[in-house]
Structure 1
Amino acid sequence: MATVLIVEDEYLVREVLKDDLTRAGYDVVTAADADEAIAILETRSDIHLVFTDIDMPGSMDGLKLAACVRDRWPPVHIILTTGKARPAEIPANALFIPKPYLGAAVVAAVRTFERM
């Protein structure tokens, strides 16, 4: 199964989604911010998809992280989320899921990328 990188600064949100994706059969790696996510992506070649919150502390938010992923790791798929309004622009071929979301909705979104 594919490996998913969850980038979420809220620990409980991150862990609940990790459990949902693990139960669905995915390998899951987590990061609390974009800097940690970049470090993971630089050392692992098995990341298939990045699921990232947009609003995060640190040197970059989720939109900047998504742009970085699109530029440096083009094959990696991206799903963005936020509890605020959907951003006007998201990277090409990325999906957006508004918060609050159900784990089943995220699993379904991740599965859409399996056919790509």
Structure 2
Amino acid sequence: MEQAQVYKRIALVVEDDALQRETIVTLLEGSDMDVIQCESGEAAEMVLEHVGGCLTTLLTDVSLAGNMDGIELAQIAHERYPALRIVVISANPRVSRLPDGTQFISKPWSPLELLRQTQMTCH
């Protein structure tokens, strides 16, 4: 009898603050996710081009290194991969222009809230 293969969920974490990025990566890896990490929207867009169909979650801060912000990245990701779960983080609670279905977490975030938003199934 064949055994079913178990596929790990893969998250793309985009955060320009190294300490915050490492904290998020540690949390997600601890919840049995594989994680790809970037500090700029441009680098994340390249990841989307190469492995976007394998990703289950995009977690991005609004403020990023480079010229692209997290909202623009979220819009690109949503257009290319509508089933991708997208979570945007910001210290500014008045973030607008988020793609439909995008989850929002304000800073400072709690580990439980971050895990809850990234672990939920796509709708």
Same fold (TM over 0.5): yes
Q: Kindly indicate whether the alpha-carbon contact (under 8 Å) linking 2:71 and 2:97 is maintained by their aligned counterparts in 1.
A: no
Unaligned runs of at least 5 residues, structure 1: none
- The alignment's C-alpha RMSD in Å is 1.3
* Matching residue's letter, 1:11: A
The 1-side partners of 2:122 and 2:56 are apart by 12
CA distance in 1: counterparts of 2:49 and 2:97, whole angstroms: 25
- Paired residues in the alignment total 115
> SS at the partner of 2:36?
strand
Correspondence list, 1:8-87, <5 A? 8-44=15-51, 45-87=53-95
The Cα shift of 1:85 comes to: 2.3
4+ residue segments displaced more than 4 Å: none
Q: Give the TM-score, by structure 1 length.
A: 0.92
* Stretches of structure 2 lacking an aligned partner (at least 5 in a row): 1-7
**1:96 aligns to what SS in structure 2?**
strand
Partner SS for 2:75:
helix
Report how far residue 115 of structure 1 moved.
Answer: 5.5
Query: Residue 86 of structure 1 contacts residue 96 of structure 1 at CA under 8 Å; is this kept in 2?
Result: no
Q: Could you tell me the TM-score, scaled by structure 2's length?
A: 0.87
Instruction: Verify: 1:95 aligned to 2:103, yes or no.
Output: yes
Quote the offset at 1:104 in angstroms. Answer: 1.9
Instruction: Report the more deviating stretch, 93-102 or 70-79.
Output: 70-79
Q: Which has the larger radius of gyration?
A: 2
Please tell me whether the aligned partners of residues 25 and 35 of structure 2 are also in contact (alpha carbons under 8 angstroms): yes
Return the alpha-carbon distance in structure 2 between the equivalents of residues 5 and 54 of structure 1: 14
Distance 1:50 1:59 in 2: 18
- Calculate percent identity across the aligned residue pairs: 26
